[in-house]
Amino acid sequence: MTPRPLGILMLDTRFPRIVGDIGNPASFDFPVIYQRLEGIGPADAVAANPDKPRVMAALAANAERLASAGAVGISTSCGFLALFQNELTAVSPVPVATSALMLIPSLTNRKVGVITASARNLTPRHLAAVGAPPDTPIEGMPEGGAFAATFLGNGPNLDRAAVEGEAIEAGRALLRKNPAVDAIVLECTNLPPYKHALRAALGVEVCDVLDLLRDFRKRLG
């Protein structure tokens, strides 16, 4: 019997989805199905103060669609949607795991830091919504770099080597400022393709949304 798929609520984007990105089904060793949040793009989600009623309405309606299509559980394509974890769980017909930030409380006996798409916009409220300490150290990807042009600007092209370099530099900056950090969580669902390079360059454990969803899917049976 084919296992039931995991459903993923996708922001309305046009940028490339390489293997490792949550939007590429080859990133998973189990079936996934996608539902686009029409009209809800990166600027709507990667925000310190999003339009919560508008975003929540889109999440709820499309979670219903995924459940109706057979999804056994639901995730999202943006770690900033951690802000909606409790609200979406309350209305979803199936279990919800919105964000890699949910990994932070499970990394016991570790000093955890975060690399995020936007340090400016990731607030203590996002962290607290998934039970992570609001004072968790964070480091953002550069605001004017290749990552921002593609993933925040919703650009059509991806310079993989440049994004990898920016991610490594963000990790180095995080460790310079917070030398006790011995585990890093990648908030952004576009960063898992660079996890192995980060581990090699930084010498610490690196976890991402694919790790979260692998365990989440196993728990769903």
CA–CA distance, 55 with 119 (Å, rounded to integer): 21
pLDDT digit string, tens, across residues 54-66: 999 999 999 999 9
Report pLDDT for 197.
98
**pLDDT tens digits, 81-118:** 999 999 999 999 999 999 999 999 999 999 999 999 99
1 pLDDT higher than 80: no
Does this model's pTM top 0.85? My answer is yes
State the Cα torsion 173-178-128-146 to the nearest 10°: 0
Q: What is the CATH number of domain 100-208?
A: 3.40.50.1860
pLDDT of 2 over the 90 cut: no
CB 120 within 8 A of CB 143: yes
Our separate counts of H helices and E strands in the chain read 8, 7
Q: Which two tokens stand for residue 198?
A: 């980060």
Q: CA nearest 118: which of 78, 63, 155, 160?
A: 78
Handedness of CA 131, 133, 136, 140 (dihedral sign): positive
Q: pLDDT by residue (tens digit) across 15-72?
A: 999 999 999 999 999 999 999 999 999 999 999 999 999 999 999 999 999 999 999 9
Domain extents in the chain: 6-99+210-219, 100-208
Averaged pLDDT, 215-221: 95
**CATH 3.40.50.1860 at 6-99+210-219, yes or no:** yes
The reported pLDDT for the residue numbered 221 is 87
Q: What is the pLDDT of residues 157-186, one digit of tens each?
A: 999 999 999 999 999 999 999 999 999 999
β-bridge pairing 74-76 and 112-116: unpaired
